[in-house]
Amino acid sequence: MLELTDLHASYGKTPILRGVDVDVDAGEIVGIMGKNGVGKTTLVKAVMGLLEVDDGRIRFDGTDVTDEPADVRARRGMGYIPQGRDVFPELTVAENLRIGETINEGDDRLQYEAVYDYFPILEERRDQEAGTMSGGQQQMLAIGRALVGNPELLLLDEPSEGVQPSIVQDVTRNLRRVNEELGTTILFVEQNLHVVQHLAERCYAIDKGTIVDELEGDRLDSREAVTEYLAV
Amino acid sequence: MGNSSAFWLGLAVAVAVLAALPVLFGLYAAEVGSVFLAYALLGMSLAFIWGYCGILSFGQVAFFGVAGYAFGIVAINAATLTGLTLAVLAALGVSTAFAAALGYFMFYGGVRDVYVTILTLVVALVLYTFMGQTAGGEWAIGDARLGGFNGMSGVPDLAIGVGSTGVEIGPLGHYYVTLGALVATYLGLRALVNSRFGYAMVATREDEDRTAMFGYDTTFVKLVVFTIGGAIAGLGGVLFTTQNNYVDPSVFGITAAALPVVWASVGGRTSLLGTVGAALAIQFVDYRLALSGSEWALVLIGSLLVFVVLVMPEGVAPRLHEYVLEYREDADPSPVPRDSSAATEEVSD
Amino acid sequence: MLELLNFGFEFVEIFAFIVLATVGLAVIFGMMGIINLAHGEFILVGAYATTFTFDAGLPLPLAMLAGVVLTAVYGLVLERLIIRHLYGRLLDSMVVTWGISLVMIQLTRIVFGNTAPGIGIPYGQLPVVDGPIYYLVLAVVAVGVLGGLYALFTWTDFGIRARATMQDETTARSMGVDTDRMYMTTFAVGSGLAGLAGALYAPVMTVTPEYGTGFLIETFVAVVVGGASVLVGTVLASGLLGTVNAAVTNVAGTFMGQVAMLIAAIVAIRLMPEGITGMLADWRESRGESQ
Amino acid sequence: MATSDPTVKTAPAVDETGPDSSRILQTRGLRKAFGGLTATDDVDFALEAGELRCLIGPNGAGKSTFLDLLTGRLEPTAGKIYYDGADITGLPSHERVDRGISMKFQVPSVYEGLTVAGNLRIPLQRVVEPDAFDARTREILERFDLLAERETVAGELSHGQQQRLEIGMAMAMEPNLLLLDEPVAGLSVEETADIADLLREIADDDGVAVIVIEHDIDFVETIADRVTVLDGGSIFREGSIEEIRTDPEVKRIYLGEDR
Could you tell me if C24 and C188 are in contact, meaning their C-beta atoms sit under 8 angstroms apart?
no
Which chain C residues are closer than 8 Å to B254 by Cβ?
101, 213, 216
Euclidean distance between CA atoms B194 and B342, whole angstroms: 8
**Bridge partners, D27 (sequence order):** D45, D81
Phi-psi region of D42 (alpha: psi -120 to 50; beta: other; left: phi over 0): left
Could you tell me if A220 and A208 are in contact, meaning their C-beta atoms sit under 8 angstroms apart?
no
Which chain D residues are closer than 8 Å to A193 by Cβ?
256-257, 259
Q: Nearest-CA residue of chain C relative to A129? A: C288
Q: Do chains D and C touch (3 or more CB pairs under 8 A)?
A: yes
Task: Choose the closest CB to D256 out of A11, A37, A193.
Answer: A193
Q: Nearest-CA residue of chain B relative to D96? A: B215
Written as one letter, the residue type at C97 is T
B302–C101: do the CB atoms touch at under 8 Å?
yes
Over residues D60-83, the mean pLDDT reads 86
pLDDT tens profile A94-109: 999 999 999 988 887 8
pLDDT tens profile B69-83: 999 999 999 888 899
pLDDT of residue D74: 84
For residue D235, what is the DSSP state? E
pLDDT of residue A227: 79
Query: By the CB < 8 Å criterion, does D130 face chain C?
Result: no
A177 Cβ contact partners less than 8 Å away, ≥ 6 residues apart:
A118
Q: Quick check: D255 pLDDT over 80?
A: no
Which chain D residues are closer than 8 Å to B344 by Cβ?
114-115, 117-118, 121, 151
Q: CA-based angle B157:B158:B160, to the nearest 5?
A: 140
What are the structural domains, with CATH classification, of chain D? Answer: 22-100+175-258 (3.40.50.300), 107-173 (no CATH)
Euclidean distance between CA atoms D87 and D29, whole angstroms: 13
Euclidean distance between CA atoms B198 and B221, whole angstroms: 10
Share of chain A above pLDDT 70, in %: 95
**Cα dihedral B26, B27, B32, B35 sign:** positive
Which chain B residues are closer than 8 Å to C95 by Cβ?
261, 265, 305, 309
pLDDT of residue D106: 65
Tell me which residue range forms the domain holding A52: 2-84+152-230
Question: How many angstroms separate the first and last alpha carbons of chain B?
Answer: 8
Q: Quick check: C170 pLDDT over 50?
A: yes
Which chain C residues are closer than 8 Å to D35 by Cβ?
285-291
Which chain A residues are closer than 8 Å to D188 by Cβ?
37, 208
Over residues C266-270, the mean pLDDT reads 76
Q: DSSP letters along C29-62, please?
A: HHHH----TTHHHHHHHHHHHHHHHHHTT--HHH
Q: Helix (H, G, I), strand (E, B), or coil: what is residue D129?
A: coil
Helices (H), D155-232: 159-172, 189-204, 217-223
**Cα dihedral D142, D144, D146, D150 sign:** negative
Report residue C290's pLDDT band, with 50, 70 and 90 as the boundaries. very low
Task: Choose the closest CB to C170 out of A50, A89, A145.
Answer: A50
Q: Do chains C and A touch (3 or more CB pairs under 8 A)?
A: yes
Cβ atoms < 10 Å from Cβ of A6: 13
B114 Cβ contact partners less than 8 Å away, ≥ 6 residues apart:
B56, C35, C90, C91, C94
Q: Nearest-CA residue of chain B relative to C224? A: B115
**Cα dihedral C160, C164, C170, C172 sign:** negative
Over residues C3-31, the mean pLDDT reads 88
CB pairs under 8 A between A and C: 68
Specify the pairing of strand A2-11 against strand A55-60: antiparallel
CATH number at residue A200: 3.40.50.300
D60–A14: do the CB atoms touch at under 8 Å?
no
Cβ atoms < 10 Å from Cβ of B83: 16
HSE (CB half, 13 Å, CA atoms) of C232? 11
Euclidean distance between CA atoms D197 and D178, whole angstroms: 15
Euclidean distance between CA atoms C210 and C116, whole angstroms: 12
Q: Which CATH architecture has domain B5-345?
A: Orthogonal Bundle (1.10)
Which chain C residues are closer than 8 Å to A104 by Cβ?
176
C220–B309: do the CB atoms touch at under 8 Å?
no
Q: How many domains in chain C?
A: 1
Q: Which carries the bigger pLDDT value, residue B301 or residue A84?
A: B301
**Residue of B340, B347, B348 for testing the chain D interface, max D β-carbons within 10 Å:** B340
Q: Which carries the bigger pLDDT value, residue D257 or residue A18?
A: A18
pLDDT of residue D21: 65
Touching subunits of D (3+ CB pairs, under 8 Å) are A, B, C
pLDDT of residue B2: 61
For residue C120, what is the DSSP state? P
Query: By the CB < 8 Å criterion, does D34 face chain C?
Result: yes
Which chain C residues are closer than 8 Å to B115 by Cβ?
224, 269, 273, 275
Cβ atoms < 10 Å from Cβ of B314: 18
**Residue of A68, A72, A81, A88 for testing the chain C interface, max C β-carbons within 10 Å:** A88
For residue D130, what is the DSSP state? G
**Residue of D34, D112, D159 for testing the chain A interface, max A β-carbons within 10 Å:** D159
Euclidean distance between CA atoms D59 and B160, whole angstroms: 69
A88–C161: do the CB atoms touch at under 8 Å?
no
- Is the confidence metric ipTM above 0.85 for this complex? no
Q: Do chains B and C touch (3 or more CB pairs under 8 A)?
A: yes
Cβ atoms < 10 Å from Cβ of A179: 18
pLDDT tens profile C147-160: 999 999 889 999 99
C176–A71: do the CB atoms touch at under 8 Å?
yes
D126–B344: do the CB atoms touch at under 8 Å?
no
Euclidean distance between CA atoms D212 and D223, whole angstroms: 10
Report residue A3's pLDDT band, with 50, 70 and 90 as the boundaries. very high
Euclidean distance between CA atoms B318 and A143, whole angstroms: 48
Minimum distance, in Å, between the CA of residue D251 and any CA atom of chain B: 36
**pTM for this predicted structure:** 0.86
A165–D189: do the CB atoms touch at under 8 Å?
no
pLDDT of residue D14: 43
Euclidean distance between CA atoms A155 and A58, whole angstroms: 14
Touching subunits of A (3+ CB pairs, under 8 Å) are C, D
Task: Choose the closest CB to D134 out of B202, B338, B341.
Answer: B341
Q: Quick check: A78 pLDDT over 60?
A: yes
Minimum distance, in Å, between the CA of residue D66 and any CA atom of chain C: 19
Sites in chain B below the pLDDT cut of 50? 1, 334-349
Query: CA nearest C202: which of C48, C25, C16, C24?
Result: C48
**Bridge partners, D104 (sequence order):** D180
Q: Quick check: A161 pLDDT over 90?
A: no
pLDDT of residue D122: 92
Residues 172-191 of D with CB under 8 A from B: 173
Residue C88 lies in a domain: yes
Minimum distance, in Å, between the CA of residue A142 and any CA atom of chain C: 10
**Every domain of chain B and the residues it spans:** 5-345
Report residue D4's pLDDT band, with 50, 70 and 90 as the boundaries. very low
Q: How far is CA D101 from CA B210, D55, D125, D179, D191, in A?
A: 14, 17, 16, 8, 25
Query: CA nearest A40: which of D185, C44, B106, B220?
Result: D185
For residue A222, what is the DSSP state? -
Over residues D245-255, the mean pLDDT reads 74
Task: Choose the closest CB to D94 out of B199, B207, B215.
Answer: B215
Cβ atoms < 10 Å from Cβ of D129: 9
Tell me which residue range forms the domain holding C92: 2-216
Q: Which carries the bigger pLDDT value, residue C118 or residue D235?
A: D235
Query: By the CB < 8 Å criterion, does C120 face chain A?
Result: no
Per residue, what are the HEC states of chain B?
CCCCHHHHHHHHHHHHHHHHHHHHHCHHHHHHHHHHHHHHHHHHHHHHHHHHHCCCCCCHHHHHHHHHHHHHHHHHHCCCHHHHHHHHHHHHHHHHHHHHHHHHHHHHCCCCHHHHHHHHHHHHHHHHHHHHCCCCCCCEECCEECCHHHCEECCCCCEEEECCEEEECCHHHHHHHHHHHHHHHHHHHHHHHCCHHHHHHHHHHHCHHHHHHCCCCHHHHHHHHHHHHHHHHHHHHHHHHHHHCEECHHHHCHHHHHHHHHHHHHHCCCCHHHHHHHHHHHHHHHHHHHHCCCCCHHHHHHHHHHHHHHHCCCCHHHHHHHHHHHHHHHHCCCCCCCCCCCCCCCCCC
Residue C19 lies in a domain: yes
Which chain D residues are closer than 8 Å to C290 by Cβ?
35-36
Cβ atoms < 10 Å from Cβ of B158: 25
pLDDT of residue A47: 95
Phi-psi region of B228 (alpha: psi -120 to 50; beta: other; left: phi over 0): alpha
Residue C245 lies in a domain: no
A99–C288: do the CB atoms touch at under 8 Å?
no
pLDDT of residue A88: 92
C110–B296: do the CB atoms touch at under 8 Å?
yes
Could you tell me if D119 and D157 are in contact, meaning their C-beta atoms sit under 8 angstroms apart?
no
Q: Nearest-CA residue of chain D relative to C291? A: D36
Query: By the CB < 8 Å criterion, does A48 face chain C?
Result: yes
Q: Helix (H, G, I), strand (E, B), or coil: what is residue D58?
A: coil
Number of residues that make up chain A:
232
Number of residues that make up chain B:
349
Q: Nearest-CA residue of chain B relative to D111? A: B206
Min mean pLDDT across B315-319, C9-13, D245-249 is at: D245-249
A18 Cβ contact partners less than 8 Å away, ≥ 6 residues apart:
A8, A208, A209, A210
**Residue of D56, D164, D195, D215 for testing the chain A interface, max A β-carbons within 10 Å:** D215
pLDDT tens profile C180-227: 999 999 999 999 999 999 999 999 888 999 898 888 888 888 888 887
A231–D188: do the CB atoms touch at under 8 Å?
no
Q: DSSP letters along A81-149, please?
A: E-TT----TTSBHHHHHHHGGGSSTT-----HHHHHHH-HHHHHTTTSBGGGS-HHHHHHHHHHHHHHT
Task: Choose the closest CB to D259 out of A13, A194, A208.
Answer: A194
